[in-house]
Structure 1
Amino acid sequence: MARRGDHSLEQIKEMILIAAEELVVEKGLSQLRVRNIAVKIGYTVGSIYMVFDSMTDLILHIKGRALDTISEQMDGITATNAELGLEELAAVYIRFASQNLNIWSMVFEHRLPEDIAIPVWYQQKVNNLFGKFEKQFSFLFPESSPAQKKQAALTFLGGVHGICVLMLTTPVTNLNSFDFEESIKLLVQRILHRTQGNAMSEILRPDSYGVGKSPVRTVALP
């Protein structure tokens, strides 16, 4: 058993997060236990609660690291126009989900208790991720409002997420990565009115938020 003086609090925090991530990858969120983490890092359960307020706090930090990883990978896209930018952002999201299924699932499966508010630092990570998509819609529709761009990003990412769920959790036969790449392209084309879909134009019309219509609320992944 390691002694508290063997590592700084920051080192212990990193050890806990790495161990917890490994457990989620191996067994899923439902099997994540503080005692298992303690055994894995060679510290007591009490040492973990010296760093994190609760299991919920720990899980939020794991989710936050996942959002940071996705955002960092999205920063590496090399698209030369907004249409390709949306396709590349979607490809990054799907690739992360396919390579980190249990971590990706945890981001959406875990729900905060009703009496716990979403921390500001976590909401900022969510906003940063959505901001990647909002930026592309800003190029496509420069006259639309921030609320409209946010709604467009939410709508588009919702479609991408649905494709992920179909690809990774549904036993559909005769589908491969090419099929899903084409699905992403079709999704982008529909949004840009290159096929018959036109729902996004209603979201992005400058006058679509008139009297009695509420602006988009802050997006959260609790």
Structure 2
Amino acid sequence: MDILNTVHFYQDVLMPPAAHTAPTPSTATTARRQAQLDALIDSAEKRIAAEGIDSLKARDLAADVGIALGGLYNLVEDMEMLYLRVAQRTMIRLDQALTEAAGSTMVTSEDAVARLEAVAHAYYRFARSNLLLWRALFEMRLKSRPLPEWNISAQLGLFGHIAAPLKRLMPDADDMAVTVTARTLFSAVHGIVVIALEERIIAIPSHAVEDQISWLMRATCKSL
């Protein structure tokens, strides 16, 4: 074998191309950590859905994922951040439900009222079908830390489902007036839903909740 062929032999056989080499340790570590984080959020979400947010214990979650207790805090800063990540998933699913309910057509004022009704009904149905995860959105006890931007953005996106039809009904109002009205209307519907789903409090019968939400929406929109 001459010198040139010997070089090619070592390059092509003994030293395979870089494209076929195994991932670098840093890439493999990043992928493993992401998989563990996803599994941790999955576990927390399942436990909340089954038993509520008070059921979450760091030791149990670490056991679910198969990591040491200290390893959990290598994946999330603390339990509050884990709560927020589960809440983010819930808000994304809620946003999808509201988007599907809203449809796409909104030309007249009546269309705007109908959209508000549809969104409010979808909110009630989502809460009823995902009761403990929905409750966890409002039961999280957070310290004075600022909310992450991704959490704030998700919340604002949900209010957008109310603000868009209100803007159609309040064409002369500025953005702040629409925002305040949207949050007030949400608070009213949310109050109805909370009490309707609270078994220990006598409230609107379950078969009448959506009719009463429609009445509230139409009465409010008439005043606008």
How does the TM-score come out when normalised to structure 2?
0.79
Q: Which residue of 2 aligns with 1:213?
A: none
- The answer on whether the counterparts of 2:121 and 2:210 sit within 8 Å (CA) in structure 1 is yes
Which sections of structure 1, spanning at least 5 residues, go unmatched? Answer: 202-222
Q: Which residue of 2 aligns with 1:93?
A: 123
Count of residue correspondences: 190
Amino acid at match of 1:40: D
Q: Does 1:33 align with 2:63?
A: no
Query: RMSD of aligned C-alpha atoms?
Result: 2.0
Larger Rg: 2
Q: Which residue of 2 aligns with 1:218?
A: none
1:66 to 83, 90, 93: 90
Q: Which residue of 2 aligns with 1:215?
A: none
- The answer on whether the counterparts of 2:195 and 2:203 sit within 8 Å (CA) in structure 1 is no
Distance 2:88 2:203 in 1: 33
Q: Quote how far apart the aligned CAs of 1:117 are.
A: 1.3
Q: State percent identity of aligned pairs.
A: 25
Q: Does 1:14 align with 2:44?
A: no
More helix by share: 2
Shift of the 174–58 alpha-carbon distance from structure 1 to 2, 3 Å rule, reads closer
Equivalent position SS for 1:75: helix
Q: Does 1:152 align with 2:181?
A: yes
Over residues 45-74 of structure 1, what are the superposed CA-to-partner deviations in whole Å (9 max), with x where a residue is unaligned? Answer: 222211110001110111111111111111
Q: Which residue of 2 aligns with 1:185?
A: 214
Q: Quote how far apart the aligned CAs of 1:143 are.
A: 1.8
How does the TM-score come out when normalised to structure 1?
0.79
- The answer on whether the counterparts of 2:196 and 2:203 sit within 8 Å (CA) in structure 1 is no
- The answer on whether the counterparts of 2:196 and 2:204 sit within 8 Å (CA) in structure 1 is no
Q: Does 1:136 align with 2:160?
A: no
Distance 1:79 1:123 in 2: 25
- The answer on whether the counterparts of 2:43 and 2:65 sit within 8 Å (CA) in structure 1 is yes
Amino acid at match of 1:90: A
Distance 2:83 2:63 in 1: 18
Q: Quote how far apart the aligned CAs of 1:180 are.
A: 0.5
Distance 2:75 2:204 in 1: 47
Q: Quote how far apart the aligned CAs of 1:155 are.
A: 0.9
- The answer on whether the counterparts of 2:94 and 2:126 sit within 8 Å (CA) in structure 1 is yes
Q: How does 1:68-83 map to 2 (within 5 A)?
A: 68-77=92-101, 78=103, 80=105, 81-83=111-113
Shift of the 108–71 alpha-carbon distance from structure 1 to 2, 3 Å rule, reads same
Distance 1:145 1:189 in 2: 22
Over residues 138-164 of structure 1, what are the superposed CA-to-partner deviations in whole Å (9 max), with x where a residue is unaligned? Answer: 121122111111111101111111111
